[in-house]
A and B are shown apart, each in its own frame.
Chain A
C-alpha cells in the first residue's frame, strides 16, 4: 500500500545542507496500524508530509497503491491526496468560519461530489464519530475532543485508504485522547490503514507496529502482540 525506498530529505539553510531524513525504507500494508515514534526533530513530521504527498523527498522512491507517485504533477498529487489520504492534525485544523458539516463536506467539494450527496455523506460521517448533534456548530463552539472528531470525519470524507494522524491527541486531555485513539483503532479494525505520528509512548502503543525514529532514521521496529 505504502512503499518508501531510500527516501531522503534535506533542507538548504544558507550554504549548509541539513539532512532531515537519511534513507527511510518503509512498507505499510493495507489495513495496518502503524505508529511512528520519536522525539521532536527526528523527522517524523517530514516523513508524514512525504507520505501524505504534501512534500517531495530529495531522493528515493515512493509507491502508493503500487504506483510510483513522485514524478506526478502537482494537480495529480492533489487529486491523489483528495481521494486516498485523510489527514488528522494535532490542532485539528478545522476552517474556523465553517460549520462542522461544511468542514466535513470540503474534501467532497474538491472532489466534485454533488451537493445533496455530499450533505448526506457528511451527516453520515458525523454520526459515525458521534457528532451528528453538533453538525451546525462552528469549530470554536466545540471542545477539543469534539473538534478532533469532526476533523476525523472530514479525513474520512472521500473514503481514503490511508489515515495520517500527526499527534492526534497532542492537544487533548488524557481521557479525550484515549477516546480519539479508540476511534482511530475502530476505523483501523474496519480495514483502514492508519499511520499515527507521536512522541508519546502511550499513544504509540495503540499501533500494532511501532517504528522508532531518531535523527532522520528508523532505528528500531517493534511489533506488538494481538492484545490491545
Chain B
C-alpha cells in the first residue's frame, strides 16, 4: 500500500512546463531517489511535496490524507536543504530543538530528544557549538538531526551531500542509510549523482525533462536501462547502433536500432553463448581498483572495464579478444 502518492502533478514556470503530469508512489519506510540531470524538475517535485511550491494541477497524498493545499508547516515533513539552512544565531542543540519547540513539547522531553539525536548523528560534545564553528559534514549532520527529531512522516533530502568532498560524502551516505533504516522513515532523496542514488536507495525514479524516464530498484535500473537516455545517464554504458554491433562482432543478428552494453560485461575469458570482439586496446585508464580501456574492434570503439589485477595487465596497443555474453547486449527502446 502506498504511503505517499503523487498523482497527475504538473508545474510550469513562466509558461514553460517543467513537470508533465507525473505519477509516483512510495511505500512506508522506503528510501526513494529522484535522479536526473540539472533542470529535469526533480527539485521542483521535491518542493511541491514539501509544500514550498504549488503545483498547477494534481494531488499529493501522505498517509491517506490529501495535503495538496496544506501549508508546509502543517505537513509533518522534514527537509534537509543543499545549503543546510541552519539557523546561524542558534547552537547545535537549539537548531535541533527548534521544531520541537514549535510543537510546544515540554522542555524536559525536548532535552532528552535532542540528546538522543546528537548521539545518533555523532555530534556529542558539539551541542553548544554554532553552525559557523562546524565543518560542512558536521553542519549537514545537524541539518539531518533537526529534520528527523520531529519524527516527520516523510523526510525530504534536496541534494544534501553535493557540497561535500568525496570521502565525507561516502561516509555520510552510509550514515544516512543506516539512520533511515533504524528509524524506518519514508525518505525521498533528490540527486544528480547516480552512484549516490545506487548506494542508498530502495527505489529510483529517473527524471528527464519533467517526465519519468524509468523507475525501479537500483539493480533493475542498472542492469536493464529502458532507454538511451537512462543507459547514458546511469553509468558508463556503451550505446551502439545495431549496425555498429554487427561490424564489431561480424554477426548479423542485431535488428534493433540501439543496444546498451555494460563495460564490465566484457571478459577476456571465453564464455559459452557469447559474441567475440577482436581488436586492439587504444587507451588505458587506471581508476584504482578498476582498469578502464577503449577497445577497437573492426573500427568500432567500445569501453571495457576489468577489476585491476596484476595478472591481467592491459597494455595500450596490445591485440586482444574479448567475449560478451549474449544476454548482456540490451536492446534499447
A and B assemble together: no
Chain A residues near B (Cβ < 8 Å): none
